[in-house]
Structure 1
């Protein structure tokens, strides 16, 4: 039978079927072209996250108009973002988590496949803090706790800058949060920022969850303000316990105590502080002072006197490295 001899109804059906077939084929080829960007091999160091499994009994998501590979991996709990486990995040599709299923294709930004940001290896869990630095020549470390305080931290920074000396500042989170510009100045001038808890509690009296909050919140605040999390921490009152060592290590920090206590927290006056620093000066010594928590005018005045003396005696005032 020739096409001209077909019944009009049959010819109409065949034309509709042919049109539908052409439309479907065009859609598939377009999907393959766009999907090539999403399914390309990840760059060096990147991690491909698996698609999230559907919970038993939950309704299936609407079918996408193209193969699932073209849409990239779906959100999966425990996926890696910048090398850190983030619940509910997954690779380049993390930003779409929680939204309605996409109804079309989107090109992913090229940065989606860049290597994860470098992260330091976690330190071991210590059983005691460091009390001094490695004795390489006449080296000493100056440390200041409890700040920053707008009354005393700026003049201490001025003195350090005048003599081109770097120091360590162990910050309380609530003080750092209240004085962000001072935190940034300390960092910008090359000093090392350490974690001194959020509210200066007696650590051994706290539950582990509270210790984690005290240390974790402070590290997060310092990182938010300076772009880098602290690598050192010091327990308030020098009171450490096993939980603080474990949690500090989990947060990537080493514990640092001190060798010489100036006892400036008793507000003894500049003369007494200078005398204690002079008597305790030795290679590897870590000096404890405070730039907040009380009247620290004696600390400010004493630093202006003993710092040039230490330098004249051949001491190198520096900071520990990790």
Structure 2
């Protein structure tokens, strides 16, 4: 199945309704406990847009193509690293369960967030960041036909989610993932204008289709060093994903692989 079609059944129901360190978050991802005032949020949003390197103290080097492997990133990830990415949240039921599991197993992840849900569940967005995880822009409404949209609409989808995440969490997303893995040069250009690196994946267990815990587990266990793994906490019942990861994460660690956030 082509990536563009991989979540069509799920999202036609209505999507709008619903650095590298293993276990340790960079300083800019950690919660400070300081209340976020309107002035603070405006300042963060402005700084994120005008100085994309503010969080790291250096400019972000945005790539002109989506990355499928940690080996594509600079600086390079540890040679035995894998990255877990969690898409389509935040979700009021499954995101907390995912965060609890990751905390229990000591694993950082990258959450690709949908803008409408960022606005609906701001406390979960802040919890993701305060827990030491990375955040990624996944558009405002998750349109699977993003490449076919008008230029203004693509800008609204990408830029709108970027700004919502920055304003609510205090962290500007450094990564963008197109819904369904649907890419075009225009999408790459607009993401780059927002100083975001476009990310794809290497291992897709198709957990969104709920094929069963055993199937999801078997597919994820195929991961090799450098792979980016795709899972979901939004879009429906994710109990199978949670159960699968409870087995997969210790198993991959047992093979000597280290989990990193992008």
Category of TM-score, reference length = shorter chain: 0.7 to 0.9
Instruction: Work out whether 1:189 is the aligned partner of 2:131.
Output: yes
Alignment-derived partner of residue 212 in structure 1: 155
- Secondary structure at 1:142 match in 2: strand
Which residue of 203, 207, 216 maps to 1:273? 216
Q: Mark the runs of 5 or more structure 1 residues left unpaired by the alignment.
A: 1-80, 86-116
CA-to-partner distance for each residue in 1:54-85, whole Å, 9 max, x for gaps? Answer: xxxxxxxxxxxxxxxxxxxxxxxxxxx86967
TM-score, structure 1 length as denominator?
0.61
The equivalent of 2:204 in structure 1 is 261
- Aligned-partner Cα distance in 1 for 2:58–2:255: 36
CA RMSD of aligned residues (A): 1.9
Equivalent-residue separation in structure 2 for 1:225 and 1:191 (angstroms): 15
Corresponding residue SS for 2:86: strand
Which residue number corresponds to residue 162 of structure 1? 104
Q: Helix, strand or coil for the counterpart of 1:261?
A: coil
The structure-2 alpha-carbon separation of the partners of 1:305 and 1:209, relative to structure 1 and needing over 3 Å to count, comes to same
Q: 1:118-177: CA deviations, max 9, x gaps?
A: 785364461x31001026322100001110101111111111101111000000000111
Q: 1:164 to 1:203 in 2, by over 3 A?
A: same
Q: Where do 5+ consecutive residues of structure 2 fail to align?
A: 1-45, 72-76
Equivalence for 1:133: 70
1:252 CA displacement: 1.0
Q: Which of 229, 233, 244 is matched with 1:287 structurally?
A: 229
Once superposed, which parts of structure 1, at least 4 consecutive aligned residues long, lie more than 6 Å away? Answer: none
**Cα shift at 1:179:** 0.5
CA contact (8 A) 1:156 1:303 kept: no
**How far 1:253 sits from its partner (Å)?**
0.2
Partner of 2:193: 250
* Distance of aligned partners of 1:124 and 1:318 in 2 relative to their CA distance in 1, 3 Å threshold: closer
Total equivalences in the alignment? 207
